[in-house]
Amino acid sequence: MRTSRPLNRVLAWVLLLFVAAIATGCASDAELDTFAPQGPIARELHSRGVLPVFWIAAVVFVGITVAMVWLIWRHRVSSYEGDDQWPAQTHGHVPLEVGWTVGFLVTMAAVAVLMLWSLPTVDATEANTMEVAVDGHSVTWEPTVVVVGNQWWWEFRYYFSDQVDLADLRAHGDAKTLPPADIVTSGQMMIPTGEEIELIITSRDVIHSFWIPALNGKRDAVPNRFSPWKIEASDPGFYFGQCTEFCGLSHSRMRMQTVALSPADFQAWVDDTTQDATEPTDPAALAGLEVFSGICTSCHVIEGVNDDVFERADQASGAAPNLTHFANRSTFAGAIFNTYNADGSLNRVQLEAWLRNPGDLKANYTVPGEQYRGMPDLDLSEQQIDDLVAYLSGLGARPADWIIEASQVE
């Protein structure tokens, strides 16, 4: 029944945990850390929106906890046995209570001001433009990427020649039949540094949420709704993300990455990626193209191969990633696997395992002949898998070494 010793022990525990928490919180190498902003939007959001209210909460927490511990220490008795003395019977004290009501009101008003001060950092948009050369002629691009959530991967669409804005897409209203884009890629979004990138976020099936913690907070991707968001990176770098709205079976394996490139590197990437797919030459890759045309084209598209005949796949999501430049992304399968090993070689083992039976690696849902969500088991032979790997690994230029290196999460 004596409470002091266990109490001390628990307090020691709490203190220890607190110290450990601070230590690991600061020292950890967490790719999705929300306390490590890497661009001006995220930095402002962090310094105005997050940190001040954490300090206010910490002060109130310490105040209440200290008061409570003091009260317990000061006023505790072990028993009422034989004690007829009752303490002064205070029923309340209106000025005091009005005082702390007003105190809380003022505190919360301060928090409210902080909120109103930080809200524009995530909501205001800049009218920035940059020059991008597409097919030999220069266009003035308002940096915008249309972000489309699908079960369980992200599509990124770049419009240079026929630029679209939020109003256009809202008028269009349908995420399943978006206007044709100059670049359609998935899993890995390339952006130029130093530019505010407007994102127009939507979904083809269920609600997802797009989140690159280092560059900004998150925004939901709601089917047939088009929501504005923005990100900006100060320096070239590799920034991880994770779908944060529960979106069904493989929600946990729906990830994404944003790679910020210097404007020159971004231009080079645009030059590569606006081309049609590389024509295969070696026999294995040619055989792989055969397999692709026979099987994969019912869901996937490769520009120059089946974009002219492609009709949306018979699946709930209505689409699968565009593979035209498969090899110039350092990730595949919804950004859960690396396309290349740390030494720069093709991650053949993973790619083959994926083609062998995707459902083993990423839960999917299939009713044969009716519905597919996630890539189904295609029952490919080992020969077909080898050929497909030969074909896919030749599609597009290999990304820069630093990108391949940054993709490795250890």
Q: Rule CB under 8 A: which of 356-395 touch other proteins?
A: 363, 365, 367, 371, 373
Report the nearest approach of other proteins to the CB of residue 164 (Å).
18
Report the nearest approach of other proteins to the CB of residue 401 (Å).
20
Smaller CB separation from other proteins, 308 or 410? 410
User: Using the rule CB under 8 A, is 209 a contact of other proteins?
Assistant: yes
DSSP label of 267: H
Q: Which of 15, 123, 129, 179 touches other proteins (CB under 8 A)?
A: 123
d(CA 1, CA 78): 8
Report the nearest approach of other proteins to the CB of residue 168 (Å).
17
Smaller CB separation from other proteins, 21 or 349? 21
Span near other proteins by CB under 8 A; candidates 158-166, 184-192, 238-246, 270-278: 238-246
User: Using the rule CB under 8 A, is 23 a contact of other proteins?
Assistant: no
Report the nearest approach of other proteins to the CB of residue 187 (Å).
15
> By CB under 8 A, how many residues form the interface with other proteins?
109
Query: Cβ-count burial of 32 within 10 angstroms (0-12 exposed, 13-18 middle, 19+ buried)?
Result: middle
Contacts to other proteins from residues 52-91, by CB under 8 A: 53-54, 56-57, 60-61, 64-65, 67-68, 71-72, 75-80, 83-84, 86-91
Q: Which of 15, 19, 21, 349 touches other proteins (CB under 8 A)?
A: 21
Smaller CB separation from other proteins, 9 or 294? 9
- 388-394-396 Cα angle (round to 5): 130
Q: Is the dihedral of CA 365, 386, 331, 397 positive or negative?
A: negative
Contacts to other proteins from residues 129-158, by CB under 8 A: 151
- 3-class secondary structure for 155-185? EEEECCCCCCCHHHHHHHCCCCCCCCCCEEE
Q: Is the dihedral of CA 372, 302, 304, 347 positive or negative?
A: negative
Q: Which of 38, 39, 118, 302 touches other proteins (CB under 8 A)?
A: 118
DSSP label of 389: H
User: Using the rule CB under 8 A, is 402 a contact of other proteins?
Assistant: no
302, two tokens: 């490769």
User: Using the rule CB under 8 A, is 234 a contact of other proteins?
Assistant: no
Q: Which of 3, 140, 161, 383 touches other proteins (CB under 8 A)?
A: 3
Helix or strand (DSSP H, E) at 261? strand 255-261
d(CA 306, CA 293): 8
User: Using the rule CB under 8 A, is 11 a contact of other proteins?
Assistant: no
Contact 331, 338 (CB under 8 A): yes
Query: Cβ-count burial of 223 within 10 angstroms (0-12 exposed, 13-18 middle, 19+ buried)?
Result: middle
> Binding mask 287-326 vs other proteins (x if CB under 8 A, - otherwise)?
-----------------------------x----------
d(CA 22, CA 86): 44
User: Using the rule CB under 8 A, is 353 a contact of other proteins?
Assistant: no
User: Using the rule CB under 8 A, is 100 a contact of other proteins?
Assistant: yes
Contact 387, 285 (CB under 8 A): yes
User: Using the rule CB under 8 A, is 30 a contact of other proteins?
Assistant: yes
Contact 392, 288 (CB under 8 A): yes
Q: Which of 38, 39, 121, 191 touches other proteins (CB under 8 A)?
A: 121
User: Using the rule CB under 8 A, is 112 a contact of other proteins?
Assistant: yes
Contact 200, 170 (CB under 8 A): no
Span near other proteins by CB under 8 A; candidates 26-34, 257-265, 294-302, 350-358: 26-34
d(CA 61, CA 158): 47
